[in-house]
Every structure is written in structure tokens, then in C-alpha cells.
A = this chain, B = another copy of it.
């Protein structure tokens, strides 16, 4: 973001057009954002902690936020690294505990739109369009997690890293020929659940997968296929089949 002059309208615009809100009409958008405020955090500031009562949910409008958990056995797991337009606490919003399950820290200087959860939740349920959008959001989130689990099991580290870099490129609309890593390698390693050393040793192997990393520069040798190599679990088409031996059970409810 431009330094010096703070363009709050621009930042607000980002929030307003963040999924799942982008599809709503402008009147509805206004409603959803009443009561929300824009906050600024400095690098390394804690935005919320594990166990904190859940009072706001968050839309990152500028900068980078690390979201992670500390497990009982002392490890620290980076769940995600959020940039422009990301929504935090999606799932917590609809878990009854009413607490944060993760900790969020500003990796860089950051601007965050914060919306009180209670009114937001209530408005959401009253608007079918918004509810659907949010359901879609959560569904995507689940799907993404599942994809990650699958990758961890079926792909070797080099494939996982290559896939991550392609995803990163795609997700943020970066140059498909290559880009500069937006954050530290150690953060990526943590995000991928591997050690920094392993990550580092993996980089040279990426050439076999059409990716070169030199310093913080990432280059794709096959720009066209960047999108294609991002995992989609694409199911191949099959001829339509009859239900094998499913038997429908006639049923009549007894009042």
C-alpha cells in the first residue's frame, strides 16, 4: 500500500468486495459493515490469541497475517498465511464455544477490518443471499483443508512445495511467469508442516516440476500449466451408470 497517505476508502472497498460479500447489493453491503472498524497493527503485533473470547471477525485489507495454533505438545502449527481480502475466524463464527481457536500475528504492518460477531451473525442468518455466500465460503474452506490432507498423504515434499507456490501465484493473481516470495521461507515451511531445512533442501528439486527458486525469486518454466498443476482433484468424466443395486424402501410416516 502507498505509504504516508492512508486511503481508508480504498481499504474499505477491499473489505466490501471480499467474498462472500461481493455478490450482495450495495444496500445490503452497507448493513453488514455497520459497526465495523478499521484497525492498524504493527509488525509482530498480536491481533488475537488462542482462548480469547470471540468478539470480532476480521478481514485483512493490507499486509500479511499469520494464523497459527500452539498444540498441547508444544508445537506451533501455521494454519494459514492471510493476505489482502482474507477472512479470519470464518469457522469460529459458527462454533458455539465463542472463543478463538487460533492466534493471529501481524507478519508485516497490517490493516484489518474488524466486525463485531454478534450483529454480523444475526444479519447473516436473515439474508438468504448472505447465508448462502457464507455457506459457500465454509464449504470451500473445508474442501481446501481436505485437499491439503490428501496432498500430505499422496505427494512428496517437492510436489507439495511446487503446488503451494503455484497456488500462491494463482490465488493472488501474480505473474504466472514468476514472482517474489511475499514472506519468509521459514513461514512457508511452517505453513506446509515441514522443517525449514527440509524446505531449503527441496528447492533445488523443484526444477523437475518446472519451478526455479533463487533467493526470493520464483520462476515458473511452464507458465501455461501453472493453473493446471494446481491441485483440483479433478475427477475424470465417466459414462453415466445406473444405480447398481440400490433398492428404494417405500416409506410412510406414521403420525
Contact = CB atoms under 8 A, between A and B. Distances in A.
Contacts of A235: 50-51, 70, 99-101
Nearest to A39: B246
Interface stretch (A149-157, A172-180, A198-206, A218-226): A149-157
A118 to B, nearest CB: 13
Interface string A17-50: 0000000000000100000011111100111011
A152 B38 contact: no
Contact of A12 (B79, B125, B253): B253
Interface in A71-117: 71-73, 75, 77, 79, 90-96, 99-101, 111
A208 interface: no
Interface in A219-240: 231, 233-238
A2 interface: no
Nearest to A129: B125
Contact of A146 (B41, B128, B145, B246): B145
B45 A249 contact: no
Interface residues of A, number: 80
A214 to B, nearest CB: 28
Contacts of A46: 244
25 contacts: A8-B249, A8-B251, A8-B252, A37-B249, A37-B251, A40-B247, A41-B244, A41-B245, A45-B246, A69-B150, A73-B154, A77-B149, A77-B153, A93-B139, A94-B138, A95-B140, A95-B143, A96-B136, A99-B235, A125-B131, A135-B135, A142-B142, A145-B145, A145-B149, A148-B149
